[in-house]
Amino acid sequence: MADDLTQAGSGQAKEMTDGGYACWFCDRPIERADPGAVLIHVRGFWAWHDGSNADDDPAQDVYAHSACAKDRLKGATMTLEPSVFLEDDA
């Protein structure tokens, strides 16, 4: 999957031919039935750190089901807030 994304060219993750979007992790369509689906914007850390905000800064957007993002984006020191997925933080 990751190789497909790097070849997209436009900096965007694969948009499906029916106009929908495929999940970065599982490649299945993202449906409205998943209101907590997320867009993940990836950009260079140091450009951000140094305050660059140029339109041509390298960046890529990928899309994910809420469940896939919660399962696959677990970090060692930071946890995604439930509100990111439109869930209560309690």
Q: Does 80 bind Zn ion (CB under 5 A)?
A: no
> For the chain, how far is it from start to end, CA to CA, in angstroms?
34
Decide if 10 contacts 67 (C-beta within 8 A).
no
Site for Zn ion (CB under 5 A): which residue of 5, 8, 14, 26?
26
Site for Zn ion (CB under 5 A): which residue of 23, 37, 38, 62?
23
Give the three-state DSSP class for 64.
Answer: strand
Q: Where are the alpha helices (DSSP H) in the chain?
A: 2-6, 45-49, 66-72
Number of residues that bind Zn ion (CB under 5 A): 5
Q: Which residue is nearest to Zn ion (CB)?
A: 23
Closest to Zn ion by CB, 34 or 47: 34
Q: Does 22 bind Zn ion (CB under 5 A)?
A: no
Radius of gyration of the chain (CA): 14
| Min CB(25)–Zn ion separation in Å | 5
Binding site residues, Zn ion, CB under 5 A: 23, 25-26, 65, 68
